Structure formats: C-alpha cells, structure tokens
Structure 1
Amino acid sequence: MKTVLNISAYLFTPITDREQLRPVLRARAEAAGLKGTILLAEEGINMFLAGDPDSVRGFVVELREDPRFAGLTTKESWSAEQPFRKLLVKLKREIIRMDHPTIRPLEERAPAVEPRTLKRWLDQGHDDAGREIVMLDTRNAFEVDYGTFAGAVDWRIERFTHFPEAASTHREALEGKTVVSFCTGGIRCEKAAIYLREDGIDALQLEGGILGYFEHVGQDHYDGECFVFDEREALAPDLSPRGGNAL
C-alpha cells in the first residue's frame, strides 16, 4: 500500500526576501514531517516534497496563502516509503540554472499546450494549423535514456546550461515547425520555449511537463519511464515508482 504522497511544484514569481523566507519554510516543513528539497531564487520557487498526505497538502495550502504563491500547482504521485533522506531548503541564483539572464519567465510565459491537446495533435500527426510537430526533449541525456516521447528530438545535452548552444546549432531543423518543448515537470521546458521564441522559433511548452502528461493522458505516444530526482529513480506512465504498481 502506497501511503506517502510525493509532490513536485514550481512557480516563477518575484521573491525579494528569500533569506528571510528560507527559515520560515524550513520550520513549517519540519513541523509537518516533510522531507525533500525546496529551492528559492529571486525568480521563484521549485520544490519536491514527500510525507503524510494531509501534511503535504496542508503545507501547500498554507504556502498559497502568500499572494506570491497563490498560483502554485502541484503534481502528485505515491510511494510506499519516503523517497527523500532529509529536508533541504536552499537559496539559488536560478530555480533551474540556464545561465541566460535575459530569459525571465516571471515577466511573460511562453504559450503552452495542454496534455490532452498534445495527444490529439500527435494522434493526427500535426497541430490544428496542419503544421509538423517537433517534440523537443530539453532534459539531460541520461534522463532521456529512461524514456521519452516517440520520435522526440534529443540533443544529448549533459546539463541544461548547454541548451542555448545546442538550440543555436540545431536551429535550422526547427524552423517552420511547431516545436513542443518538454521536460519532467515543466520548469526547464518553460525556459527553453522562451529562449526558442526569442530566437524566432514557434515553440510551445508542454503544460505540466511529462508528469502532467502522465496524469492527464497516460502512456500514449510515450516510450518508457520518466526519471525523477529521488530514490524512486523513475516513474511509469501510471505514476507508479519503478518496479511498483499504482495506488
């Protein structure tokens, strides 16, 4: 029986008091018995937490009482055991490092495509305008090896800071097509889509990333599993941990 609730969540929102916020969130999470990681940067928050379901959801509800985090959405999955060894609350320059300061999602998001709409496009082989679709995996190469969308473009990058250079190298192959950037939970593909659009590529981000697609669609057009950065290692399209079954 899988009784540990795991959540992943991020939000690009201005945080000017992250030094003061850090101990507050740590104390709340510790009091709730949660483990995992919370990253705070001036551009927003990124977190992966696990624990008792009521405690996890209560922590999120309290966090959303801060107007800056009211729009925070979470992706849920389950495990039989706590997948994190400890609780970390860290201050970072970026909640996902790209080293490209002109890319600022908190100012304007790139357009997104919902999972069910993407499935329909992939079913029919083109978007609603009849344009060819390019599924662009923005994750690191070792993550892609666990699973990805069928026929997805994979530039074999070793870390996300390599994405801009790879995008410039392969720009010509993306021109004139509808590019859907995707990643685990949405944060990397959101920055990637903005970068591509600034370079004149018609790019969309997959809303909620692969985990959001699993939640709303399942395995259609996806081969394999999705790597996650905790002791579960990877999740199947039914959101069960590697070697396990869905709750």
Structure 2
Amino acid sequence: MASVLNISAYLFTRIDDRETLRPLLRARAVAAGLKGTILLAEEGINVFLAGAPGSVRGFVADLRLDPRFAALTTKESWSDEQPFGRMLVRLKREIIRMDHPTIRPESGRAPAVAPATLRRWLDQGHDDSGREVVLLDTRNAFEVDYGTFAGAIDWRIERFTQFPGAAADHRDDLVGKTVVSFCTGGIRCEKAAIHLRESGVDALQLDGGILGYFEQVGGAHWTGECFVFDEREALTPSLEPRLVGAAS
C-alpha cells in the first residue's frame, strides 16, 4: 500500500506578512520531514506537500490555527515514493499568475458546482434549468493533452496570462449557457470564473477542481489522466500515479 500522502490546497485570503511567514512555514515543514512547495502571495496561499500521513495532516492542522487559513481544504492522493526533491516556500505576486489585478478572489468567490452535481448535469445533458452545460478547460495546452472532460472547450493557451484574451475572443460563444470552468485543483478555474462573470458570462467553477472530482466522483465523463506538477507526472481518475511508460 502506498505510504506517502500527497496534498494540494489553496486559499484566497489576505496575507500581509509574507516575508515573516515564509521562514516560519519552511522551518515547520522541514521539521516535520515534509517536501514540496508553498506559494505565498498577498492574495493567498497555494500548497503542495508530501510526507508521512500524520506529519502532513499535522502541518495542515497547525496552519488552520491561523484564522486566515482556517478554511483551507486539502485534496489527498498517495504514492509509493516522495514526489518532491526539496522543501520550498516562495513569495509570489499572485499564487496563480493571471496579470489581471481587478480579479481578487479573496474578496468573494465565484459560485461553485459540486462534482456530484456536475456529473448529474453531464449524465442528463443539461443543468437543472434545462440549459446547455459547457465545460471550459482553463489549463495550459500541454496539461490538457494528458486528459480532459469529454467535449470540453480547450483554447490551447500556453500560460494562464493568455486566458483573459482568449475569453474576450470567445465570449459570444459562451453567453446564454451554463459554463463550468475547471482546472487541476481549483485555483485557476476560480479566477477564470470570476473573470467570465465580470464579462457577462454565467460561469461556475468546479469545486475542488479535477482532483476533487476524481476523489468524489471518479472518472465519469473524463478521458485520460490529469497532469500534476510533481514527479508523479499525472494521476489516473483513481488518484494513482500514471503507469510507467504510458503515452501522454
């Protein structure tokens, strides 16, 4: 049985003491024997960690004692080996770069759709109001190539900073439909949904992203795997590392 617990988590929350917080979080993670990456920005925190289950969950529990991070939720998966080479805590301008400063998720989230609800909509071919459901993949093109939802829109962007321009180009194709933006863990599709709603598109974010969908629903309506930014490379819908030698 796989013994290394991997978590991903993010939260949009105001952080004004990043420089002070950075060494504290790194020291705490290293002391717990964890490896991975934590990103800190004024807009929030993004966490990728792996290690012994008790150590990972203990670190998260301690982090939640800070009121700013009390609402942090994690997505878990397992591996036989440590997928990270070291422990990094980095300061960033944004925890996911969009270069669109008016988008501030810490001020209010876009509406979200639960994985089970999305599966039901896809099963029946429409949302609960009878409207067409459009799935919008907000990830970079190379990530999409590992796998995506059947029939999802893919604008072939190479980096997330290209998303606002692509959204402007394709806005008329989305108006009047229920658009569900999705990404690996939820962070990009949260910003994307806010941006789309500001432009007049009825957009929702997939709560928990693809990994949350895998955890709660499995691989229904999904084809392929999900790229992840660590040495596992990609996860199957059962949240297991891809088979060695599998095609991208």
Query: Normalised by the shorter chain, which TM-score bucket?
Result: over 0.9
> Matches of residues 21-170 of structure 1 in structure 2 within 5 Å?
21-170=21-170
- Cα separation, 1, equivalents of 2:162 and 2:32: 37
Question: In structure 1, the residue corresponding to 2:106 is in which secondary structure?
Answer: coil
Aligned partner letter, 2:178 = T
How far residue 243 of structure 1 moved from its aligned partner, in angstroms, is: 1.3
Deviation at 1:201, TM superposition (A): 0.1
- TM superposition shift of 1:200: 0.2
**Which residue in 1 is equivalent to 2:6?**
6
Q: Which residue of 1 aligns with 2:202?
A: 202
Show the counterpart of 1:236: 236
Structure 1 residue 224 displacement after superposition: 0.5
Aligned length: 244
Give per-residue Cα distances to partners, 1:177-225, cap 9 Å, x unaligned: 0000000000000000000000000000000000000000000000000
List, as ranges, runs of 4+ consecutive aligned residues in structure 1 with deviation greater than 6 Å: none
Residues 134-191 of structure 1: CA distance to partner in whole angstroms, max 9, x if unpaired? Answer: 0000000000000000000000000000000000001111010000000000000000
Paired residue secondary structure (1:63): helix
* Structure 1 residue 12 displacement after superposition: 0.3
Q: What residue ranges of structure 2 are gaps of 5+ in the alignment?
A: none
Unaligned runs of 5+ in 1: none
TM-aligned CA deviation for residue 27 of structure 1: 0.5
Cα distance in 2 between the residues matched to 1:175 and 1:143: 26
Q: Among the aligned pairs, what percent are the same residue?
A: 80
Q: Structure 2 CA distance, aligned partners of 1:107 and 1:64?
A: 19
Question: What is the one-letter code of the residue matched to 1:91?
Answer: L
Matched residues in 2 for 1:23 and 1:88: separation?
Answer: 10
Partner of 1:223: 223
- Which letter maps to 1:145? D
Taking the aligned partners of 1:86 and 1:169, their CA distance within structure 2 comes to 40
Give the CA deviation at 1:14: 0.3
Structure 2 counterpart SS, 1:179: strand
Task: Work out the CA distance in 2 between the residues paired with 1:223 and 1:105.
Answer: 30
SS at match of 2:23: helix
Q: Give the TM-score taking structure 1 as reference length.
A: 0.98
d(CA) in 2 for partners of 1:152, 1:174: 12
Q: Counterpart amino acid of 1:157?
A: I
> Match for 2:12: what amino acid?
F
Structure-2-length-normalised TM-score:
0.98
Q: Give secondary structure in 2 for the equivalent of 1:170.
A: helix
1:52-84 deviation digits (Å, cap 9, x = unpaired) = 000000000000000000000000000000000
What do you get for the CA RMSD once the two structures are aligned? Answer: 0.6
Give, in whole Å, the separation in 2 of the partners of 1:144 and 1:74.
23
2: distance between equivalents of 1:62 and 1:86?
A: 21
